[in-house]
Chains A and B, each alone.
Chain A
Amino acid sequence: AQKITQTQPGMFVQEKEAVTLDCTYDTSDPSYGLFWYKQPSSGEMIFLIYQGSYDQQNATEGRYSLNFQKARKSANLVISASQLGDSAMYFCAMRYTGFQKLVFGTGTRLLVSP
């Protein structure tokens, strides 16, 4: 069964440092997409970054990058130069061929301290 695992319920980082949020997935489908979303305390779900299973390069979007290791089935989110506004829940999600839905992990709560 397709599954997303986020093993870090909470992470702490100091402002301006980099932080890695872990995500592993399980699927036998060769075609899938991996997504990261941010949910601040205000509650909305904000799309951050996408990685396709056939993409040769790791995705980057500003301070966000995705460390995609296909053989290990991991898709870790790296946030560089953390800011106070990065404090939020972060969700990893996967979408695979033929299934019109996202499967979410349980999320990681990130707290950025001054």
Chain B
Amino acid sequence: DTAVSQTPKYLVTQMGNDKSIKCEQNLGHDTMYWYKQDSKKFLKIMFSYNNKELIINETVPNRFSPKSPDKAHLNLHINSLELGDSAVYFCASSQASGTTSTDTQYFGPGTRLTVL
């Protein structure tokens, strides 16, 4: 009964490769997110989708491209991986996108990406 799931959990790859991370939520939420957690544990938003529509695109390199085939799925594709892309990537979802308790974001287990 996983609420927000991500695959894979670990991803080790060479510089220059292209990789994808998949995220699925079974909570019926309308909004999904991608966050990046760096080596110092700092979490920062990358993208936000509401009902398959891109809402937030922070200053993320064009090599990162999110895709939402439906509101339960949000995938992250990364082209030409660089050493600095090594991090933990978290997917999250929320029922709505405001400031009330119903807008609590629930996170997936994270994907640890290591670029060699």
**Residue positions of A touching B, CB distance < 8 A:** 31-33, 35, 37, 39, 43-47, 50, 52-53, 89, 91, 93, 95-97, 100-102, 104, 106-107
Contact = CB atoms under 8 A, between A and B. Distances in A.
Contacts of A106: 40-42
Interface in B31-78: 31, 33, 35, 40-45, 48, 50, 55-56, 58
15 contacts: A39-B41, A43-B88, A44-B107, A44-B109, A47-B105, A52-B100, A52-B101, A95-B103, A97-B99, A100-B33, A101-B48, A102-B35, A104-B44, A106-B40, A107-B42
A67 B82 CA distance: 42
Q: Is the interface of A mostly helix, strand, loop or mixed?
A: strand
Contact of A95 (B50, B99, B106, B107): B99
Contacts of B33: 100-101
- Sorting the interface of chain B by its residue count into under 10, 10 to 19, 20 to 34 or 35 or more gives 20 to 34
B101 A101 contact: no
A43 B88 CA distance: 9
A81 B104 CA distance: 26
Given A35-B104, A39-B41, 17 more contacts: A32-B99, A33-B100, A44-B107, A44-B108, A44-B110, A45-B92, A46-B107, A47-B105, A47-B107, A89-B41, A95-B99, A100-B48, A102-B35, A102-B43, A102-B45, A106-B40, A106-B42
Contacts of B103: 33, 95
Given A35-B104, A43-B112, A100 B99 contact: no
B43 A100 contact: no
B42 A43 contact: no
